[in-house]
Structure 1
Amino acid sequence: MKRKVSQQKSHYIWKTKVFAALLFGFCFATVVLLETQYSRIKTLALLSPPIVQKPKIAFLFIARNRLPLDIVWDAFFQGDKENKFSISVHSRPGFLFNKATTRSAYFLDRQVNDSIQVDWGGSSMLQAERILLQHALMDPFNERFLFLSDSCIPLYNFSYTYDYIMSTTTSFVDSFADTKEGRYNPKMHPVIPVYNWRKGSQWVVLTRKHAQIVVKDDTTFPMFQLHCMRKSLPEFWRDHPLPAEGWKEHNCIPDEHYVQTLLAQEGLEGEITRRTLTHTSWDLSSSKDRERRGWHPMTYKLADATPMLIQSIKDIDNIYYETEYRREWCTSKGKPSPCFLFARKFTRSAALRLLNMSALGASNESNK
């Protein structure tokens, strides 16, 4: 009996050793296989070029509510195949871009969640710009920051626009010395001396460095909040009492002065290209349409929307600054180029007509 038990025990021990040997062999083979595969993967990784995220342009839209030209921009953004842009929209508080309020997937949920009510001619517009920049700066790949209104259209396709904007290390900021009396408020002195007072377009393109300066500014911005505000306009006099001694009022439109003056304050004017990339028509002297006269730029309506209009804007290759007796020829990558990539103000019907006529770069990728 003892001998039988001993034989069974020996047999069990032998089976255990065999199983252990097999298990060890399997584990060893697995390790060798994993090391081989790891070596192959590592070799392939070294041979394959790394995926590099290209720098992006942050498109920053300032809107009243929805974006009436979203379909035009949808066609424009479809030209990007490499994720080279981001979108942020500042609209009225509580407005959401969802499937009920936009027809473009590019704008879904792209509204900033801390927007404010914006009043034309007030410092609230500057606050909206700063909010948009704060959000856009959270993306480390955003290298250019472009402000657009809800009535702007792109003149060229995405590829051409991207290359144009990224071809320079400067910001595009229309800026010139504003010597006209009544705009600069002496109460800004000495924080903002008159020799740093500048004027230009609100529709700027900023480098990341300059965008950070705008967001961090805690000196120039408060002075604008206190001392830069629009004059009581004749078109509003019917709703308000006539201003006493209106001739003494300073007609300071904050968004036409802030970025320009701030960069002058920081001694950075040598880092900007002194023009805007957004075309606006202010020459209304010959207009027979009374609705088109006033303090606001011309609005292009359905009847204005023709390929000839767009081509005339594209053909502009220089800008003359009357106050400085200076003419600037527009260049890109060191070569002569069109001055403008965008244009405003277009109604929805006008923009859609241009899109359907393939008059915009957004509607035809073969057209730069």
Structure 2
Amino acid sequence: MKQRKATQQQQKSHYRWKRRVFVFLLLGFCFGSLVLTQSHYSQIKALSSLRSHFVQRPRIAFLFIARNRLPLDMVWDAFFKGEESRFSIFVHSRPGFLFNKANTRSGYFFNRQVNDSVQVEWGEASMIEAERILLRHALADPQNERFVFISDSCIPLYNFSYTYDYIMSTPTSFVDSFSDTKEGRYNPKMAPVIPVHNWRKGSQWVILTRKHAKVVVNDTTVFPMFQQHCKRKSLPEFWRDHPFPSNPALEHNCIPDEHYVQTLLAQEGLEAEITRRSLTHSSWDISSSKDPERRGWHPVTYKFSDATPSLIKSIQDIDNIYYETEYRREWCTSKGKPSRCFLFARKFTRPAAFRLLNMSVLGVSRKATNDPDS
């Protein structure tokens, strides 16, 4: 009897020992699984972080057209700061000009000029040739998805994030384009290649998608017509001191930069793929100006005394554009909702632009500085 009880106790003890061993092994398995799971999660997280590091967001290529230096470089420096992964810069300046520390204080522009620039003359096809050169260089980078033309007197009206989201929110190009044959800029000699019903006018300061940028660069039909038939016409001021030509028809100027991209896209049947307005504001309302320098064929130039918060707000508040020749009012939208029309504005002198920057009314700011030219 005592032997049986001893045997039963041994069995119970052995069973308890086996249960403890099982629990211990189970806990060890669970702990090991947890460690492996955490390690696997860490690996996945690290791979995800590494992948996001190499998969960059689409970039906007800012294409600056300058005479020599960029007088508003530090305004753009403040605009670009901290957003290096979302933009690229290309500058077309006169042949041989080199951006370095001697002529710009912004490192963003060092060595960013194209090396095959041409001498640009206002009113000639050389302006659109410069645009095509800039696009050709910018297209070499596959990350560039939008292409924005900027003049050397242009300022941004908002910060980079707002500007980026506005431009990238639509699959269309922004091209100010409308029919206009009243000014007689269309040359009938273009008719075999460019019919008059495809003749368009608009602002030079367009924003193109990658598809449309390629169309401009690869064009071999419309551009030669502009080179051949858009010769520079003397300004009205010229004829004040010279005999008026006996045959005015010999003096013909279609202002290539205000017609080329618009006409090309119409010619290619791509107008359904564009938003027909510019995002760059220019003021042509010079009728009331008392300054004779502001009268002519160019938009208003804003000087130091013009640079006020109320001026910027008046431009930012514009929400529609009226096209008289087409009896069309373009209400501005972004992401399907009513929005402001303009992201950029020109023409600003250096003192005016720096005054606005120091007022922090452009969506970007820096500490007040005594600019040598202000």
TM-score by length of 1: 0.85
* 1:81-160 paired onto structure 2 within 5 Å: 83-160=85-162
Which residue, out of 240, 244, 269, partners 2:271? Answer: 269
SS state at 2:51 partner:
coil
Report if the CA contact (8 A) 2:123-2:253 is conserved: no
Runs of 4+ in 1 over 6 A off after TM superposition: 39-42
Report if the CA contact (8 A) 2:172-2:274 is conserved: yes
Match of 1:54 in 2: 57
Cα displacement (A) at 1:231: 2.3
Tell me the amino acid that sits aligned with residue 110 of structure 2: L
SS state at 2:133 partner:
helix
Q: Residues of 2 paired with 1:230 and 1:138: CA distance? A: 32
Which residue, out of 344, 347, 350, partners 2:346? Answer: 344
Tell me the amino acid that sits aligned with residue 113 of structure 2: Q
Tell me the amino acid that sits aligned with residue 252 of structure 2: H
Tell me the amino acid that sits aligned with residue 159 of structure 1: S
* 1:303-322 paired onto structure 2 within 5 Å: 303-322=305-324
The 1:251/1:357 distance shift into structure 2, 3 A limit, reads same
Report if the CA contact (8 A) 2:62-2:150 is conserved: yes
The 1:285/1:248 distance shift into structure 2, 3 A limit, reads farther
Bigger relative contact order, structure 1 or 2 (CA pairs below 8 A, ≥6 apart): 1
Report if the CA contact (8 A) 2:149-2:207 is conserved: yes
The 1:47/1:205 distance shift into structure 2, 3 A limit, reads closer
Tell me the amino acid that sits aligned with residue 297 of structure 2: W
> Deviations 1:180-210 (Å, cap 9, x if unpaired)?
1521101001100001000000000000000
Tell me the amino acid that sits aligned with residue 80 of structure 2: F
Cα displacement (A) at 1:288: 1.1
Q: Taking every aligned residue pair, what percent have the same amino acid on both sides?
A: 79
Which residue, out of 44, 66, 70, partners 2:69? Answer: 66
Cα displacement (A) at 1:43: 5.3
Q: Which moved more, 1:222-231 or 1:270-279?
A: 222-231
Report the RMSD for the aligned CA atoms in angstroms. Answer: 1.9
Q: Which moved more, 1:141-150 or 1:233-242?
A: 233-242
Match of 2:34 in 1: none
Tell me the amino acid that sits aligned with residue 291 of structure 1: E
Gapped regions of structure 1 (runs ≥ 5):
1-38
Cα displacement (A) at 1:245: 2.0
Match of 2:231 in 1: 229
SS state at 1:320 partner:
strand
Report if the CA contact (8 A) 1:182-1:249 is conserved: no
The 1:319/1:124 distance shift into structure 2, 3 A limit, reads same
Match of 2:16 in 1: none
Report if the CA contact (8 A) 1:79-1:157 is conserved: no
Match of 1:77 in 2: 80
Tell me the amino acid that sits aligned with residue 51 of structure 2: P
Q: Which moved more, 1:250-259 or 1:205-214?
A: 250-259
